[in-house]
Structures are given as C-alpha cells and as structure tokens.
Amino acid sequence: MSKKTPVTISDIARRVNMTPVTVSRALNKPDLVKPATLARILEVAHELDYVPNAFARSLKRSESMIIGVITASVDNPFYSEMIKAISREAKTRGYTIMLVDTDGSEELEAKAVDTLLSYRVAGIVLSPVSDEPAYQPVYLSRLSNGDIPVVQLDRALPASPFSHVVLDNYHSGLKGARYLLAQSPAMGRMLVLTGPAHSRISEERLKGVKAAIAGSGKPVQLDVFAGDYTLEPSHQSTLDYLRDHPLPDAIFGFNQLITLGAMKALRDRDIAHHSVAICGIDRLPFADIFGIPIACIAHDASLAGSSAVKLLLERIEDRHLPKAQVVIVGELENGVGG
C-alpha cells in the first residue's frame, strides 16, 4: 500500500479554484476572508483531511508552540508523573510537548538537544542524565548562549545559568532517617542504598541521614551502597549485603526503584518486609493496593512538573527574567506512628 501524500494548501486551492494565498489567509486569519469563501475552504479542507504543518508555520513565523522535554528515564514512576503534569500544564497554555527519553545516555542527551534546537522549540525542560560536578556536557555552552529558555527539573547541571525545580534532598534524607531511628530504639545498623556516589542528590540525601544519626546520639553503623536510580543495582547490592552481614535494623532506599530493588532482595531471601524497618524516598507505585504501605518521604511530582512549565513559560514571555529556583519539600507518608 502506497503511503498517502499529505494534503497541502495548494491542493485545497485547486479544488476550490482559488489562489493558495486566499486559502492560507482563510486557514490562518479567517476574520479577513468572506464568510462564504471561508466556509467553502474549510469544507474542502475537512474533506481532504488537511492537517496544518505546525513546524513549517513556526519556522515562517519565527515562533513555536512546542515545548521540548528531555528526561533521563521514563521508566522511573516519579518522572512519569512529572511528565504527565508537564503535558497537562503545557496544554492549558496552548503548547504541545515533544518528549525525548535519553535512557541515561550522555550521547543521546546531546542528540536530543540538537534535535529540539533544530525544531526551534519555544523552550526546553531538561532533566540531565547526571548532576555530578564533573559532568559538563558539550551542549551546555550552546544552550547558555542561545535564545531558547531552559528550565532544569530534578537534576541541575553544576554552575548552569538556568532556572530549576529540585527536591529538598537534604531534608528528605533527614526525615527518612529520623523515622527509621524512631522505629528501632536499639538500632545498631542501617543499610542505605543511594544513587551514583558523586551525584549531588545522593550526597545531599546522605548528609541528611548522617545528620539524623548524629542528632540521635545512637552508635549506628551506617552501611552505604552506591548504585544508580534503577532497580537492579540495589537488588544486587542488597543480596550481596545479606550474604555477608546479618539483617540490618533498617533499610533506606534513595528512590522508588532502589527501594523496590531492596524489597525484591528480601523476598529472594525469604525475609518478610515487615521484619526490618524500611523507608524510601517517594511513593512505591501501587504498594497500598497490595497491603504493603511502605513508609516514604513523598514529593509532589505533579507540582514539580507543573512548576517547571510555569517557570519556562514565564521565560518564554520575558527572556530577561532572572534565574529562579523552586524546591519541592517531601513529607513522611505511611509511617508507623507517623
């Protein structure tokens, strides 16, 4: 079956026996066309299934109604919630999002930036693959010197000039550790499963954990295993830990997938999840449905996503607005006695 050729303004013009200029005016500035002429053109456009070329129109007008969204992983449930909120908020202002999942690849992230710039998007919501101090992507200077507004979400590139929406990572670590300490008055050992060791998110959350332990006055052994923000590394780290150590008094996972990886390891070893105090950062998806209300420090992912779009739209309208920061605070949920 041959591929259907897109209908153009010229095709409509031939059918109605008018000039392409008249058809274009009817489709783009209908108030300048006689009602009878407009009705005929719209009727034929509908019959031919005409779809406007939004990209071509944006090039001609030097404007776009597309917001680019670059995310490191749509597999992360927290990111999925943020993306849904970004899309909803953008729609209320007449924008459409163009989503690119880099799957944690620096190369794909650089290509994503190039692609969005080539489409002349109105702005970009960027969640970089890394927030480590050493990560200085090649596209950073191009975005910094360019005319397209950028807002970073969740992760922020070091020393970047862009506004950003981030989580209150220090206090998330602090609140989670305090909850776990309260669950085990005689706590001797806490297993903490983090993201990348040099990630600023991991470092801030770990600072909060250490501050909670120091404030408790308890001689807690802190065992830290770094991985990434996916399930399998934490699953393997927990299995390795359980092989070489007795069951810890508490387990703290630094995101949803990390916490799920630890719980999977407990199941593999036939250890009931309620036999050890567990806390994660952000809600476990659908856990309550199965009667497993795991304690967590929950952040409002929808608020994070919508806040990023609002910051971006403000900067699309006024390119001279100063750099801004929004911090999403997390709160304890499902805590026993919390």
Both 181 and 156 in a single domain? no
CATH number at residue 86: 3.40.50.2300
CA 194 from chain centre, in angstroms, equals: 18
Rounded to whole angstroms, the Cα distance separating 37 from 30 reads 10
The pTM assigned to this predicted structure is: 0.81
Residue 294 within any structural domain of the chain = yes
Cβ(254)–Cβ(202) under 8 Å? yes
Both 307 and 294 in a single domain? no
DSSP 8-state symbol, 329? P
Both 134 and 39 in a single domain? no
Residue 338 within any structural domain of the chain = no
Both 146 and 174 in a single domain? no
* 338 residues of the chain, pLDDT tens digit each: 455 677 888 999 999 999 988 988 888 888 888 989 999 999 998 888 887 765 555 555 556 789 999 998 888 889 999 999 999 999 999 999 999 999 989 999 999 999 998 888 999 999 999 999 999 998 998 888 878 999 999 999 988 999 999 999 999 999 999 999 999 888 999 999 999 999 999 999 999 999 999 999 999 999 999 998 989 999 999 999 999 999 999 999 999 999 999 999 999 999 998 899 999 999 987 777 777 789 999 999 999 999 999 999 999 999 889 999 999 999 999 865 43
Match 């993306």 to its residue by tokens: 83
For the chain, what is the domain count?
3
Beta strands in the chain (DSSP E): 66-71, 96-101, 123-126, 150-153, 163-167, 189-194, 221-226, 250-253, 277-281, 295-298, 325-328, 331-333
> How many residues does this entry show for the chain?
338
> Around Cβ 297, how many Cβ atoms within 10 Å?
30
Residue 181 within any structural domain of the chain = yes
Both 139 and 233 in a single domain? no
Sign of the CA dihedral 185, 255, 202, 164?
negative
Report which of 218, 219, 211, 225 is spatially closest to residue 175, judged by C-alpha positions: 211
Both 291 and 310 in a single domain? no
Token reading at 181: 């300490």
Residue 305 within any structural domain of the chain = yes
Q: Which domain holds residue 21?
A: 9-52
Cβ(167)–Cβ(200) under 8 Å? no
CATH number at residue 48: 1.10.260.40
Both 91 and 194 in a single domain? no
